[in-house]
A and B are shown apart, each in its own frame.
Chain A
């Protein structure tokens, strides 16, 4: 500090800070004001730290969705049936469902975030059904709602549930949702000829508000039916579609959705049926089948030529196929989803042929094998096939005496079935066998159901079997009776002879063992001991795991069908040349 006696100011200097203080003694009368302290500051301004407590406005991404235009007014409440979806009591609005939500997840091939949002922001399935007042005649199982949530968002889908889990109901309910939301206005359902009536019934049951046109009759009539513009659902069989493929193209018809039932019908890519369905102009392609792979992985490739053309090819390994279709195929089995379903009891009835029938069989086989051996390289699959069929027929009925060990056994079993008031289904691959059985089983009120009958006659047979107590037995051919029929009131199934393919046998069995089955279903498979039937059974057992191997990606399948090699091997013969192609389906 440096004192300045002249003005009384003292300075303090400390580097940059200079403080000057004017110090005067108190009580000096010459000074009117009190002494002041002056602190002059020199040097750099001190660093100022600013803290902005505000937030910058967050960036907002926006997505707009086109409001759906309802294609139909809300469904009228059912009057004839008890309802489960909406409680209309006292005219009040029932509350929306609060539990058990089934959400529609975006398919894996949806990449854009905006499209994913479209699916994620939809109401859950229960809310959609409730809001649309879509009622069901029976309460769907949760796995069926999952099936609908799988189908609705997909343009390419295969619903491959095991037979009897309600594939048609899931498809119909999904169609209903799409039509209601305005996403589908023109839907085509294609099914085997024998199932048209069944589908018409199911549509009326599960979607009573949808107008359905069944495409049938002469060409003029069909042209008119195809042309109907204000009918949301058209129903046609495969044969009609093949016949009318040019007409459909000529009329310029396009569909928002095409559903193929029993889609294994198009497994052969080169078939006319496959070509006809692939030629349809469509936005969505769904296939329903309990057996997407019957013989080989090529079956699946054939179906996908319709569902998602080019997605699969025959060079892909089963593992690669499984990975490629994992988002497009939904398959559930009864043991996984229906824990409470009545059990299916399988019995293999090994039947000893009687002496005369055995002798007829022995002679036929020896002669046949001798003939095949003598033909050498001239022997073809067709020759072996004919021998197999002849031997199988003898296993059913002795062609010389009419004796049938199987029939004797079946009659004994049916006594019990009839006595207990139950009903039974009997399957055979031959219409002729069904005819003979009908005569022999007349006392059980046996009725026939096969492809040689008219649709009306078949429907009448089903009606009588269902409603009239005296008819304990329905005799069905695998071709006509294995698919689509709901016969869950029958508790016994007899496979009088074996089909070439276990999947077809499963389909037959599942006419009875399906949702709604009242009790355990007993399946009896007749096998004539020490005959061709036992040898075929061994081959079928090897094939049985193929489908699951691909669908579950569980490994490489061991076999790919009943090949020429396998067919010749049934008689311990070597296939002449270049065997290996699938010979029997």
Chain B
């Protein structure tokens, strides 16, 4: 993994948090926050709002969200980042498809509610790696456990949302 190379070279592990915020007035904003092992911000990227036309809704049909979140927004955000996170976490299911446009492992984070069929539990969160990263689930879990000692995995998404709200007011 790239992250293993980075750590071998002396770099400390960093983590990516990717989400989208739907604003009824502006459209869909994407936000990507990279934090260090203590949860402190290193990079933040956000998109201008993307509006979906009726024609796009009709023509993309059920593939719309995966394309929009994964390729258009997620892909654009990850392309701007200079960091190589140990894992990119998202709380947005449609964002998982960003995995097709990056070499980084991607996983879905949800609050821990009952038992889940797939994935694993870290702290108060349930984590489901993208199908392409299923084989690396053990390594991802190990890395996230270190982060979860400092940061609750759902918490950085709140920061991204607060920043995007501020950007809309600005």
Residues on A lying within 8 angstroms of B by beta carbon are 51, 53, 55, 57-65, 67-68, 93-98, 101, 103, 113, 116-118, 120-124, 127-128, 130-132, 181
Q: A127 near B77 (CB under 8 angstroms)?
A: no
Smallest Cβ-Cβ distance to B160: which chain A residue:
A121
Judge whether B150 is part of the interface by a CB distance below 8 angstroms. Answer: yes
Judge whether B131 is part of the interface by a CB distance below 8 angstroms. Answer: no
CA–CA, A60 and B82, complex, Å:
14
What would be 24 A-B contacts, judged by CB atoms less than 8 Å apart? A51-B55, A51-B59, A53-B60, A58-B72, A60-B46, A60-B47, A61-B46, A61-B48, A62-B44, A62-B80, A65-B42, A67-B40, A68-B40, A93-B146, A93-B148, A95-B152, A96-B152, A98-B124, A117-B41, A117-B163, A121-B33, A122-B41, A122-B159, A123-B156
Q: B166 near A65 (CB under 8 angstroms)?
A: no
Segment 53-104 of B: residues with Cβ below 8 Å from A? 55-56, 59-60, 67-68, 72-73, 76-77, 79-82
Min CB–CB distance A282 → chain B (angstroms) = 25
CA–CA, A117 and B159, complex, Å:
9
CA–CA, A121 and B155, complex, Å:
10
Q: A60 near B45 (CB under 8 angstroms)?
A: yes
Q: B48 near A58 (CB under 8 angstroms)?
A: yes
Min CB–CB distance B59 → chain A (angstroms) = 4
Smallest Cβ-Cβ distance to A133: which chain B residue:
B150
Q: A95 near B155 (CB under 8 angstroms)?
A: no
Please list the 9 inter-chain residue pairs (A to B) with the smallest Cβ-Cβ separation, ordered nearest first: A93-B149, A131-B150, A121-B41, A58-B47, A53-B59, A131-B38, A123-B39, A59-B48, A96-B152
Q: A127 near B155 (CB under 8 angstroms)?
A: yes
Most chain-A CB neighbours within 10 Å: which of B41, B50, B59, B81? B41
Which residues from B are CB-within-8-Å of A96?
39, 123, 148-152, 155
Q: B163 near A120 (CB under 8 angstroms)?
A: yes
Q: B44 near A63 (CB under 8 angstroms)?
A: yes
CA–CA, A118 and B44, complex, Å:
9
The count of residues in chain B whose C-beta lies closer than 8 Å to any C-beta of chain A is: 50
Judge whether B30 is part of the interface by a CB distance below 8 angstroms. Answer: yes
CA–CA, A101 and B33, complex, Å:
19
A58-B30, A95-B149 are contacts. A117–B166 as well, Cβ < 8 Å? yes
Q: B55 near A64 (CB under 8 angstroms)?
A: no
Judge whether B22 is part of the interface by a CB distance below 8 angstroms. Answer: no
CA–CA, A67 and B150, complex, Å:
16
A67-B36, A121-B159 are contacts. A58–B152 as well, Cβ < 8 Å? no
Judge whether B145 is part of the interface by a CB distance below 8 angstroms. Answer: yes
Min CB–CB distance A64 → chain B (angstroms) = 5
Q: A121 near B44 (CB under 8 angstroms)?
A: yes
Min CB–CB distance A93 → chain B (angstroms) = 4
Min CB–CB distance B101 → chain A (angstroms) = 12
Q: A53 near B56 (CB under 8 angstroms)?
A: yes
A120-B166, A131-B39 are contacts. A55–B72 as well, Cβ < 8 Å? yes
CA–CA, A120 and B41, complex, Å:
10
Smallest Cβ-Cβ distance to B33: which chain A residue:
A121
Smallest Cβ-Cβ distance to A103: which chain B residue:
B162
Which residues from A are CB-within-8-Å of B167?
61, 113
Min CB–CB distance A135 → chain B (angstroms) = 15
Which residues from A are CB-within-8-Å of B36?
67
Judge whether B43 is part of the interface by a CB distance below 8 angstroms. Answer: yes
Which residues from A are CB-within-8-Å of B49?
58
Q: A130 near B150 (CB under 8 angstroms)?
A: yes
Judge whether B170 is part of the interface by a CB distance below 8 angstroms. Answer: yes
Which residues from B are CB-within-8-Å of A103?
162
Q: B47 near A55 (CB under 8 angstroms)?
A: no
Which residues from B are CB-within-8-Å of A65?
40-44
- Residue in B77, B151, B159, B160 whose beta carbon sits within 8 Å of that of A60 in the complex: B77
CA–CA, A94 and B148, complex, Å:
9
Besides A116-B170, A127-B152, 17 new A-B residue pairs in contact (Cβ under 8 A), listed by A number: A59-B48, A60-B47, A60-B77, A61-B167, A65-B41, A68-B40, A95-B123, A96-B148, A113-B167, A117-B41, A121-B163, A123-B150, A123-B151, A123-B155, A128-B38, A131-B39, A132-B38
A65-B42, A116-B166, A118-B41 are contacts. A55–B68 as well, Cβ < 8 Å? yes
Which residues from B are CB-within-8-Å of A55?
50, 56, 67-68, 72
CA–CA, A123 and B40, complex, Å:
6
CA–CA, A283 and B46, complex, Å:
31
Min CB–CB distance A176 → chain B (angstroms) = 15
Which residues from A are CB-within-8-Å of B59?
51, 53
Which residues from B are CB-within-8-Å of A113?
166-167, 170
CA–CA, A60 and B49, complex, Å:
10
Which residues from B are CB-within-8-Å of A101?
155, 158
Which residues from A are CB-within-8-Å of B30?
58
Which residues from A are CB-within-8-Å of B77?
60
Which residues from B are CB-within-8-Å of A97?
152
Which residues from A are CB-within-8-Å of B50?
55, 58
Q: A95 near B33 (CB under 8 angstroms)?
A: no
CA–CA, A69 and B170, complex, Å:
30
- Residue in B43, B46, B68, B151 whose beta carbon sits within 8 Å of that of A64 in the complex: B43
CA–CA, A59 and B80, complex, Å:
10
Q: A62 near B148 (CB under 8 angstroms)?
A: no
CA–CA, A95 and B59, complex, Å:
45
Q: A62 near B150 (CB under 8 angstroms)?
A: no
Smallest Cβ-Cβ distance to A112: which chain B residue:
B170
Which residues from A are CB-within-8-Å of B68?
55
Smallest Cβ-Cβ distance to B57: which chain A residue:
A53
Min CB–CB distance A410 → chain B (angstroms) = 56
CA–CA, A97 and B41, complex, Å:
18
Smallest Cβ-Cβ distance to B44: which chain A residue:
A63
Smallest Cβ-Cβ distance to B75: which chain A residue:
A57
CA–CA, A82 and B43, complex, Å:
37
CA–CA, A133 and B142, complex, Å:
21
Q: A94 near B162 (CB under 8 angstroms)?
A: no
Which residues from A are CB-within-8-Å of B46?
60-61
Q: B72 near A57 (CB under 8 angstroms)?
A: yes
Q: A57 near B124 (CB under 8 angstroms)?
A: no
Q: A117 near B150 (CB under 8 angstroms)?
A: no
Most chain-B CB neighbours within 10 Å: which of A58, A59, A94, A117? A58
CA–CA, A225 and B38, complex, Å:
34
Min CB–CB distance B65 → chain A (angstroms) = 12
CA–CA, A395 and B149, complex, Å:
64
Which residues from B are CB-within-8-Å of A95?
123-124, 148-149, 152
Q: B145 near A93 (CB under 8 angstroms)?
A: yes
Q: A117 near B44 (CB under 8 angstroms)?
A: yes
